[in-house]
Structure 1
Amino acid sequence: MPRFTLVVPAYKVQGYLRACLDSVLEQDFADFEVVAVDDCSPDNSGAILDEYAAADERVRVLHLPQNVGLGRTRNAGMAQARGEYVLFLDSDDTLTPGSLSAIAERLAETGDPEILIYDYARTYWYGKVQRNQLKDLLRQEGPASFSLEQRPELLDLLQIVWNKAYRRDFIEKHGFQFPPGYYEDAPWTFCTLITAERIAVLDRICVHYRQRRQGGNILRTVSRKHFEIFDQYERIFRYLAEHPEFDTWRPELFRKMIDHYLTILDRPDRLPPNARSEFFRRASADYRRLKPEGFVLPGGVQGQKYRLLALGVYPVVAGIKVANKARRNLRKHGRQQIRRTRQRIVNAHYRAQLRLPLDENLAVFSAYWNRSYACNPAAIDAELARLAPHIRRVWVARPDTLDRFPSGVEVVPVGSREYWTAVARAKYLVNNVNFADSVVKREGSIHLQTHHGTPLKSMGLDQRDHPGSAQGMSFGKLLARCDRWDYSLSSNRHSTAVWERAYPCSFTSLETGYPRNDVLVNATAEDVVAARRELGIADGTTAFLYTPTHRDYQSGFVPRLDLARCAERLGPNTTLLVRGHYFYDSSRELAALRADGRIVDVSAHPVVEKLYLAADALITDYSSAMFDYANLDRPIVIFADDWEIYSAVRGTYFDLLREPPGAVATTEGELLEILTSGAWNDEASAKLRADFRERFCDFDDGRAAERVVRRVFLGEDTDDSLPIVPLAERVPVPTPSQALAGL
């Protein structure tokens, strides 16, 4: 029998679940089991749980056939518990290092009480860590264990279950179960505390309670489901009626109930406006029905609220709230003035356009900070022209890049009247980065964030731990931009989880695949040959595409290879296609090397997918090109000569040297040995590539653009009409040698 069972319910937490499980499994105390319960989660949470269970025998997974809610999910986990103590951990929270050892030690010191209460800290998306404000209630003084009568102030702690260890025989003896609905922790918490004969406390932060920026706490959702709190307190007072020995707790629990009702009424993020008076009437009825004899009202403003609730005079309470809101607005006047000043900067023409109706048949596109016609937006643009030609498509461009756009594409310069008109009136805005801060998200408009790669390096909020890469970024402003997203595209489950955690906003993830990669699945042998002809690659030549990525600790493009020496070693039948990261201008060194026919500078080539089709293999370091190129099922070689520096400065989501898509070199000599020996294309390389493809080519089956257009622009449900073709059933595009052989 393990000492602890940790019950971890999971529902739509794929971005946080690994951190939660890692925080448990990496504890220095090992005598525990994890019962993880998948509450029929529609995302990848269930698969993540299965992955951990396969890797660690201490993890058991229960998959529920239908979604039942948090309370019943915990019940399902409890029914499987074998530990002496049951602990609950929400799947977006984490245990602090050493917490299980500290809990075990404190339980031993206090003689195994029925309940041990430990402390927690709130952790915020912007890095703040704030300890429980009532931490003093957990001071370890007096008797090692005690009854609630000796420390009744413990009832004032937040009504939560995940800051306590419960002895399992105590739970089973009294038949405690979580009820369904909102506020399920209240009946459990109060009833267990008043029932326990011995309680102990641990004055230590054992849980980091994640404050998700959006979407994490259902209790902060405006909904009529907050009315379910009445059922929860009805259960508490029914328990008191069934156990008259606990009747002395009736006044205190009545106070907690009324305080809870008033909190919901006071919070603007709970009840719909048209339901507030009804909630007040229900609360007032409970007040009169359940008020204990001799109950003493609290003093001050809270006591006044109690009196008004008892009288059922909601208009007076609403008037008090209006007055309080006015006082708060006065205090915030300074901040509002700053916001108003910023708003005045918005050009008058734009303000006028914002007052006009949305153009339901206008879509605005941008890519790479208004630099070019490329990437996922370009692929979506082309498919939109095919499936919905009635929608006008306008691209945004920097004035100095207008000549980079194909003929026939409508382009407006950033900052022009045409630009402000388009972004103000467009129903659809599509970008692979963010639009400028000054672009307003209008009600009824649809912002589609396509992204421009699969993340190896840390992104969004995850960069907070790597300030060298963030370079003074305002994470608050970043998330304000991301708040405009309605949809976020993903090409694999890894990306979905990262985007949802790194950008905690209320967008819908679309696991469609990347539209830009459709060509890497659908191209023909003729397309491959045409791409090579365009680049001047001779038949019989092996073409390696070299795509180094940006380094946060370098200011410009510095080739990490001696390209001339590499070309010499590889011989006359090899061509090096060299593509600098789009952050860089073409360097003088590369311009000089173009004179050697074995090196071709393709940094300015407008369509990177054609380069992929033309290349026999990819050489890269940490570029997201590897994830896209893997769709071709062609060899990939990793040249990671500065992995330790790069991973430390930027931060990465997995160890590329341990989980590569092919052969790995950490020096130029090793790279040349791989390329000249044939190791770049051997069986070992193929096995690594197959594993990599299984993990990162989930959704790229060649129909991503169509899925996006039908779902976002045409409002169709594509889950059934365009199911993802399994990876094993996809036929890779012909390699250059296969394509040339077919001529």
Structure 2
Amino acid sequence: MPRFSVIVPVYKVQAYLHACLESVLDQSFTDIELIAVDDCSPDACGAIIDEFAVGDGRVKAVHLAENVGLGRARNAGMEHATGDYLIFLDSDDTLTPDALHAISDRLKETDEPDVLVYDYARSHWSGETVRNQYANLLDEEGEAPFRLADRPALLRLLMVAWNKAYRREFIEREGFVFPPGLYEDTPWTFPVMLSADSIATLDRVCLHYRQRRGGNILGTTTRRHFDIFDQYERVFAFLDERPELSAAWRPVLFRRMVDHLSVIFTKRNRLPRGSRPDFLRKARTHYRRYRVPGARVRTRDRLRHTLVRLGSHRTYRTLWTAMRVRTRARRYAAAVRRKIRGALLQLHYRIQLRLPLRSDRAVFSAYWGRGYGCNPGALEAAVREHAPHIRTAWIAEQAHHHTLPTATGRIRPGTAAYWTALARSKYLVNNVNFDRRLVKRPGQIMIQTQHGTPLKLMGLDLQDRPAAARGTDFGALLKNVDKWDYVLSANRHSTLVWERVYPAAYTTLEYG
């Protein structure tokens, strides 16, 4: 009996299938079976699966006689599963390296829970990878395993099947299967999470969720999006059969349903032309059927709930347009306020530049305002000890002010105090560059401490590395470098690199 049964339903993904299957078979954890289900795919997917099955005995090739859809293809895979735990992987997604090892270790740490929820990242066709925005909900601190009632915020995560490992005995005992139709994860995930006696989390990205330019069924225009109504009927039928769960969870799932219906309705290009009024009428029917009288609705959701309850497409469209106009007006007003504030601050700065320098002032910063530390922190502490006549101040975002010593002044970036400090302090110390608008005055001394040892390419060395340079303006970069008076260096290697990639008239202080 293998530890994991990884089930991969396959349909029209021949361009991505090799990467998907290889991401499973190349895992450092090898106690697995890979069940690839060919959902009667018309392309080369079936042949690719057979090639993998011939090359690796851990692969089971399952070929369906007709196309049954994602949910029932997963069911077909479960019929062949023998592992302790089930893992579902869509055939255009991939597991991250060592993911199964991390999942196995966490299962042991948490006493073999019914469900383990792990994190994922969206992998965009542009090459950008973005972690799940609710990753903080997967914090491993605290007692584990637990029940959903102990951490109900987990329902804010994307309700999908592929970000979890399921104990097969639990799934079989409860009789869980995927229904037909789109949004098949909805009547699977909610019942599974509500029924589980033990749940644990893994705060690690174990899966890359591919964001394709096209081909994703949820992004296509079709009346199949109406399947969402059948799926929520199944969710509430599950609750009706379990009155011990219904009282606590029905209001929560009702709100999730209204939110889900609103998203589908408002997403462009999902519903075919002419079908939107019908969709909204069905949404109104579901609203009235499953509404929990007296259930609390968050203030920010009230308008959306009201529009679904009314079910009038004309009313929805009118109010939605009004909301968009109001939002745009607010954004415009905010942009105008920012420009006015920015202009006033620059006027203030220009005035401060005409006032005398303060020879007893030194201002420090590190890592773009992220708090106290690194080489500037060491220098600031040394200044207070060895030159107590100099008053020090530190530039940091408000969230990092707790890291600052009480003996140094605190300045927030972008404030009048910030521009005053840059204009009138004699000593300016940073391990990155200050604001590019800083005007270096005669008599000011700027110390660039750098951070770390230059073992990567930077500065002018990036000119022939456009992907790494990311549009760097090298002319502007060198203008900032020209403001440096001194550059700290830890060793000869660093000195040689800094002076080559940041050429200017500064003095290098190679002090170790």
- Shorter-chain TM-score: which interval? 0.5 to 0.7
Helix, strand or coil for the counterpart of 1:142?
A: coil
In the TM superposition, what is the alpha-carbon distance from 1:330 to its structure 2 partner?
8.2
How much does 1:46 deviate?
0.6
Identity level (%): 53
Structure 1 residues 141 and 273: alpha-carbon distance in aligned structure 2, compared to 1, 3 A threshold: same
In the alignment, which residue of structure 2 is the partner of 1:238? 237
**1:377-425: CA deviation from partner (whole Å, max 9, x where unpaired):** xxxxxxxxxxxxxxxxxxxxxxxxxxxxxxxxxxxxxxxxxxxxxxxxx
AA aligned opposite 1:218: I
Corresponding residue for residue 169 of structure 2: 169
Letter in 1 for 2:197: E
Q: Secondary structure at the match of 2:275?
A: helix
Q: How far is the alpha carbon of 1:21 from its aligned partner?
A: 0.8
Q: Which amino acid aligns with 1:124?
A: H
Task: Give the CA deviation at 1:54.
Answer: 0.2
**SS of residue matched to 1:258:** helix
The alpha-carbon deviation at position 149 of structure 1 amounts to 0.4
1:106 is matched with: 106
Aligned equivalents of 2:146 and 2:270: distance in 1? 36
Aligned residue pairs, count: 339
Q: Distance in 2 between matches of 1:201 and 1:76?
A: 27
Shift of 1:304: 1.2
C-alpha change, 1:470 and 1:56, in structure 2 (3 Å) is farther
Q: Distance in 1 between matches of 2:32 and 2:92?
A: 20
The code of the aligned residue for 2:5 comes to T
For residues 328 and 18 of structure 2, the distance between their equivalents in structure 1, rounded to whole angstroms, comes to 41
Quick one: structure 1 residues 295 and 84, their matched pair in 2 at CA, closer, same or farther if it must change by over 3 Å? same
Q: What is the identity, as a one-letter code, of the residue corresponding to 2:112?
A: D
Q: Using the alignment, how far apart are the partners of 1:51 and 1:162 within structure 2?
A: 25
1:483 alignment partner in structure 2: none
Give the CA deviation at 1:222: 1.2
Task: Supply the distance in 1 between the matched residues of 2:329 and 2:103 (Cα, whole angstroms).
Answer: 47
Equivalent residue for 1:195? 195
Change (3 A) 1:21 1:292: same
Deviation at 1:76, TM superposition (A): 0.2
Q: Aligned AA for 1:24?
A: V
State the distance in 1 between where 2:95 and 2:290 align: 39
CA distance in 1, matches of 2:117, 2:305: 30
Change (3 A) 1:127 1:330: farther
Describe the SS at the equivalent of 1:97. coil
Alignment of 1:138-287 (within 5 A): 138-215=138-215, 217-247=216-246, 248-287=248-287
After TM superposition, give the deviation of residue 322 of structure 1 in Å: 2.5
Residue 304 in 1 paired to residue 319 in 2? no
Distance 2:181 2:464 in 1: 43
In structure 2, the partner of 1:14 is 14
Deviations 1:127-147 (A, max 9, x none): 111000000110011112100
* 2:82 aligned counterpart, secondary structure: coil
Task: State the alpha-carbon separation in 2 of the partners of residues 214 and 18 from structure 1.
Answer: 19
Alpha-carbon distance, 1:328 to partner? 7.4
Q: How far apart in 2 are the matches of 1:25 and 1:104?
A: 16
SS in 2 for 1:15: helix
* C-alpha distance in structure 2 between counterparts of 1:471 and 1:81, whole Å: 47
- Offset at residue 285 of structure 1 (A): 1.0
State how far apart, in whole Å, the 2-side matches of 1:47 and 1:469 are: 42
The Cα shift of 1:88 comes to: 0.2
Q: CA deviation at 1:59?
A: 0.3
Q: Which residue of 1 aligns with 2:79?
A: 79
Distance in 2, Cα, partners of 1:157 & 1:285:
26
Please list, as runs of the form range in 1=range in 2, the aligned pairs for 1:181-580 lying within 5 A after superposition.
181-215=181-215, 217-247=216-246, 248-300=248-300, 302-326=301-325
**Alpha-carbon shift at residue 268 of structure 1 (Å):** 1.0
Which sections of structure 2, spanning at least 5 residues, go unmatched? Answer: 333-461, 468-512
1:128 matched to 2:128? The reply is yes
Q: Is 1:67–2:45 an aligned residue pair? A: no
- The offset of 1:92, in angstroms, is 0.4
- Structure 2 distance, partners of 1:324, 1:14, is 43
Q: CA deviation at 1:193?
A: 0.2
Q: 1:196 to 1:35 in 2, by over 3 A?
A: same
Contact 2:37 2:76 in 1 (8 A): yes
Cα distance in 1, alignment partners of residues 150 and 331 from structure 2: 43
Q: State the Cα distance separating 1:312 from its structure 2 match.
A: 2.9
In structure 2, C-alpha distance between the alignment counterparts of 1:34 and 1:124, rounded to whole Å: 25
Q: Alignment partner of 1:16: what SS? A: helix
Q: 1:24 to 1:11 in 2, by over 3 A?
A: same
**Counterpart residue number, 1:689:** none
Letter in 1 for 2:105: E
User: What's 1:505 paired with?
Assistant: none
- Given residue 241 of structure 1, which amino acid in structure 2 is its aligned partner? D
CA shift digits 1:307-341 (9 cap, x unpaired): 232233332211122234556788999xxxxxxxx
User: 1:292 is paired with a residue of what secondary structure?
Assistant: coil
Letter in 1 for 2:252: E
3-state SS of the aligned residue for 2:9? strand
Contact 2:23 2:97 survives alignment (8 Å): yes
- 1:471 deviation in Å? 7.8
Residues 277 and 169 of structure 1, relative CA distance in 2, 3 Å threshold: same
* Cα distance in 2 between the residues matched to 1:183 and 1:316: 27
- Secondary structure in 1 aligned to 2:60? strand
Q: Which amino acid aligns with 1:190?
A: F
The answer to whether 1:118 aligns with 2:118 is yes
Task: Output the CA distance in 2 between the equivalents of 1:89 and 1:112.
Answer: 21
Counterpart position of 1:362: none
Match of 1:576 in 2: none
List gaps (5 residues or longer) in structure 1.
Answer: 334-466, 473-743
Secondary structure of the equivalent of 2:274? helix
- Return the alpha-carbon distance in structure 2 between the equivalents of residues 468 and 47 of structure 1: 45
Give the TM-score of the pair, scaled to structure 2.
0.64
Distance, in Å, in 2 between the alignment partners of 1:471 and 1:136 is 34
User: 1:54 — aligned with what?
Assistant: 54
Q: Which residue of 2 aligns with 1:37?
A: 37
Alpha-carbon distance in structure 2 between the residues aligned to 1:5 and 1:138: 23
- Sort the Cα spacing of 1:332 and 1:210 in 2 relative to 1 into closer, same or farther, 3 A: farther
- What one-letter code is carried by the residue in structure 2 that aligns with 1:104? S
Deviations 1:280-307 (A, max 9, x none): 111111111111132112212x211212
Secondary structure of 1:127's match? coil
Distance in 1, Cα, partners of 2:326 & 2:62: 51
The AA in structure 1 aligned to 2:306 is R
- Against the structure 1 CA distance between its residues 168 and 13, is the aligned structure 2 distance closer, same or farther, given a 3 Å change threshold? same
In structure 1, distance between residues paired with 2:263 and 2:168: 33
Tell me the SS of whatever aligns to 1:123: strand
Secondary structure of residue in 1 paired with 2:14: coil
Q: What is the TM-score normalised by the length of structure 1?
A: 0.44
Q: Which amino acid aligns with 2:219?
A: R
